[in-house]
Structure 1
Amino acid sequence: MHNVMLGVLVVSMLALFILVLKKRSSGRLLGYAVFHALAAAVALYLLNTTQMLGDLTIPINPVSVMVMAVLGVPGLILLIALKVAVI
């Protein structure tokens, strides 16, 4: 069952990738999304390594990177507030 689900995931990702690359405007949008995700990951890494937040560290995972990539600085504030509220 696990292998079937993995196969469906891979095939659907490839189909989506092909559809996105067929249109030029979609490729540009994909480029922006990748750039913002990488910038968010680097920003989270720098915040964690320089300890600008004190002892508070925000884990670098796909959810936190996407929240920060989409929302920017308000996303960072949201992640900090969630981390403080949970701990």
Structure 2
Amino acid sequence: RGLVEVKAFDALGNPMAATNAKLRVSAPDGTSRELALSQQAPGVFTSRFDSTATGTYIVSVSEADASGGTRVSAHGFSLP
């Protein structure tokens, strides 16, 4: 299983009690789904997903910013 950990801190480095971040995982077969994040500790949120298929997975986290835009961070990994 895959594990995603999101750390959420304010500009002063204080952990955030909640996050409006959205997590999306795209699987090697082209399907994607949004997953819920669960708080594990102050400022730490995680989600698990099935990663048994061979190929490349793309994990993206998006969050609204203060100016009304959206910040997105995406990372990928491959399983042989």
- The normalised TM-score by structure 1 is 0.23
Bigger Cα Rg: 1
TM-score by length of 2: 0.24
Structure number with higher strand proportion: 2
More helix by share: 1
